Structure 1
């Protein structure tokens, strides 16, 4: 189940993270160890396997320094279900807000979608064959009841004997099957039957009705109702997409999907709890009003992080071995302001560094998903070649760093604002004024010219996200 990380050592995991995230070596090392420990536990002696609990991680750092991206990329490397929540969205029981168990249900939902997608891919070929027959039947319906009564037609066999209706129908079908496979009929309209969308969610009310129970009842009622279909006239290309999804879904065993998804969520799931500092009491001693509510959120989170069972519409999930990564800026509150029990459940603490001008330069130049590469790809779609001179990247990095220093520091997110301001005119002029095969080089002069108001006037209010 965790074979995707079997051959990745902690050092190799860090290398993978380096492809997308600049700096933050300490944080990367700790999450790499946590990920490798997942595989180690699954291959440990069975007598102690259940006792090995994950070392949850608390990341401390300002916004935009890479906390969420590290956690998200880690889950992607491990092919693990991942969900992000904000602690400030939860409230203690009895107040309006999200139930803390919803983050576990979200994780299971992600896991089910991942397993379902993989299993659909496995049956894709078989589903495609079924879909081809459905499309063919819509074009040339087969003759029912076996071979038809012989009838004379203009088409005849070489021996002079006339075709019967059945043989003629089959030959025509094979010709059209070939045309379908060659993509010659993609725009031809056909009429197909498709399943109607599920009915809107029905309100189920009752005393003490929690979210999981409500979802289970709604699903049960939905399952009891007959499946309705409706006719639609669509192109063959569109029909293929619609029918492929339906037929693939019919070929997979949902009970097997649910079982595998629960196992995957329990043993490789990652839950990222952001803004954990927002539910810490700055005094560290509780109090009344908002402080009571914050402590209530922490106490609601505690059993989930410690390890408990949660009911979901796919079954019961145990949270003992889910990896929890919490994060916060901790500008006002301190990690020690969290309740002691919750602190103890995040034994690994890593502090992420604020980004420097050199970091900004590297973020623009090296990651596989660098903003510069994204904009180059967008304009390549219009057959326009965009490139950035090194001196331009250096100037962009300098401006972003200065804006962060003088206004609110939002880390690497500032680069999105600066790059958008720099390139908006170009993006607007393509393709009307800047046609295909154009070549645009962003140099230092262009950066200074287009961002002069940011450099000279320091009127930065419009660039605050």
Structure 2
């Protein structure tokens, strides 16, 4: 009997310890987020210590004082008013005020994580100089996913490595400037894919924004600060993690200065001027969970000093500006070049200069904050064939996996790959054309395969792509055409 009592006491102690551990864990989770005023939506770091009204409702001292001033100045009898409101009679504490859990109303998107205390020695820095991969390691990882673009991958690897070395080395006598990048390349050459792959390999938050929706503050469209708000959302509203992230602004050529316009250029030069402080590094107040400051959501301050900005754009008609400069240089004398010498040069953007970009419509102050400028190569036919089958998540491997789930083996012969690459070159949309072409020819096959469980292998031939024949279907040891010609 005594042993049973001792065991029960031990179990009670263990249960209490377990309850205490869960309580501390829940309180630690709650302490990760700042309290937000229910009236003005300011955070505790900006408005001061909050007053707990119960049911997870917090009000800052300023709003509380304004509320009492409004009540007393209006001549209303406060005691009578509180008695007539249901659930408000049990003051102090106002525990009955507004029944219901406010966690349902205050969404997770509007919760802001607190910054870590710099004096806390137990917490380690997220970025350690020893953990940053070297440029050749970054390029080797990019080679597994991206075909070609050797120069672009080398430039991005060095720029990212130097950027995170700059973030990690805080206590230095020499201040290292940011290495923001400007990426120029035709559509479908892999600009966005390079940045996505880079952020995935480095495990840092990434925000992809479109410059076409940005306008000057006060006009219809997204404010410039909305790109930082997207990065904050990608970092789960963790300000400290967001300040070490990457922002990729696509279609940057669409905010070029309009050459002939009589109206205010609110989506061109004005956006470039508004982005200057963003690229260089400053404290930006951004809304949490929204893209506009006018929304009734809390604001948080994000420092963009350690955020890496990568801008990309196709810059159509930039080749004409480069041709004009190159022809003007060699158009006089016995050694003058022909005017059509550069017409068939597909990689003419490789010779781009800052003067060419300024003539295109980018202001000098904007270009000065993007010191790393490089261009991507136009995709050739061999590169398109390699893109279809070489990378880890190549499009052919995706379709092979889809049919493998039906226990069917899929193969593409060399003639089929050449025919698909030729059709993609005609579309002039880069690697984006590959999926649409393959999807068109695989439609009938994906529809017919589940009809017969005896099908074991499908071979896509060049004649099928050229609409001169049918794919080869192998069924349990013999071959017979199951699908008719695509004509």
The bucket for the TM-score relative to the shorter chain is 0.5 to 0.7
Q: Secondary structure at the match of 2:163?
A: helix
Query: Structure 1 length normalisation: TM-score?
Result: 0.59
For residue 451 of structure 1, report the CA deviation from its aligned partner.
9.6
CA distance in 2: counterparts of 1:33 and 1:297, whole angstroms: 29
For residue 340 of structure 1, report the CA deviation from its aligned partner.
1.2
Query: More helix per residue: 1 or 2?
Result: 1
**CA gap 1:380/1:94 in 2 versus in 1, 3 angstroms:** same
Find out whether 1:415 has 2:391 as its counterpart. Answer: no
* Cα contact 1:4–1:79 (8 A) shared by 2: no
Find out whether 1:306 has 2:325 as its counterpart. Answer: no
**CA gap 1:61/1:5 in 2 versus in 1, 3 angstroms:** farther
Q: Choose the corresponding residue for 2:311, options 326, 330, 340.
A: 326
For residue 104 of structure 1, report the CA deviation from its aligned partner.
0.4
Q: Secondary structure at the match of 2:234?
A: helix
Show the 5 A alignment for 1:152-231. Answer: none
Extract unaligned runs of 5+ from structure 2: 1-125, 289-298, 319-355, 471-487
For residue 5 of structure 1, report the CA deviation from its aligned partner.
8.0
For residue 290 of structure 1, report the CA deviation from its aligned partner.
6.3
* Cα contact 2:217–2:224 (8 A) shared by 1: no
CA distance in 1: counterparts of 2:171 and 2:145, whole angstroms: 36
**Residue 41 of structure 1 corresponds to which residue in structure 2?**
166
Q: Choose the corresponding residue for 2:145, options 7, 14, 20.
A: 20
Show the 5 A alignment for 1:64-79. Answer: 64-79=188-203
Task: Map Cα deviations across residues 249-283 of structure 1 (whole Å, 9 max, x no partner).
Answer: xxxxxxxxx5xx3222212x111111111110253
Question: Over aligned residues, Cα RMSD in angstroms?
Answer: 2.3
**CA gap 1:352/1:5 in 2 versus in 1, 3 angstroms:** farther
Find out whether 1:377 has 2:401 as its counterpart. Answer: yes
Task: Map Cα deviations across residues 31-52 of structure 1 (whole Å, 9 max, x no partner).
Answer: 1012211332244251348x32
Q: Secondary structure at the match of 1:271?
A: strand
**Residue 241 of structure 2 corresponds to which residue in structure 1?**
264
For residue 446 of structure 1, report the CA deviation from its aligned partner.
2.4
Higher relative contact order (CA closer than 8 Å, sequence separation 6+): 1
- Which is higher, the Rg of structure 1 or of structure 2? 2
**CA gap 1:366/1:291 in 2 versus in 1, 3 angstroms:** same
Q: Choose the corresponding residue for 2:363, options 304, 320, 339.
A: 339
Extract unaligned runs of 5+ from structure 1: 113-257, 453-465
**Residue 111 of structure 1 corresponds to which residue in structure 2?**
235
* Cα contact 2:207–2:231 (8 A) shared by 1: yes
CA distance in 1: counterparts of 2:312 and 2:463, whole angstroms: 39
* Cα contact 1:22–1:362 (8 A) shared by 2: yes
* Cα contact 2:209–2:227 (8 A) shared by 1: yes
Show the 5 A alignment for 1:215-254. Answer: none
Between the two proteins, the alignment pairs up a number of residues equal to 295
Task: Map Cα deviations across residues 79-131 of structure 1 (whole Å, 9 max, x no partner).
Answer: 0111111111111122110111111011011111xxxxxxxxxxxxxxxxxxx
* Cα contact 2:204–2:246 (8 A) shared by 1: yes
**Residue 427 of structure 1 corresponds to which residue in structure 2?**
446
* Cα contact 1:5–1:78 (8 A) shared by 2: no
**Residue 350 of structure 2 corresponds to which residue in structure 1?**
none
**CA gap 1:297/1:388 in 2 versus in 1, 3 angstroms:** same
**CA gap 1:32/1:10 in 2 versus in 1, 3 angstroms:** same
CA distance in 2: counterparts of 1:390 and 1:9, whole angstroms: 37
**Residue 438 of structure 1 corresponds to which residue in structure 2?**
456
CA distance in 1: counterparts of 2:153 and 2:205, whole angstroms: 19
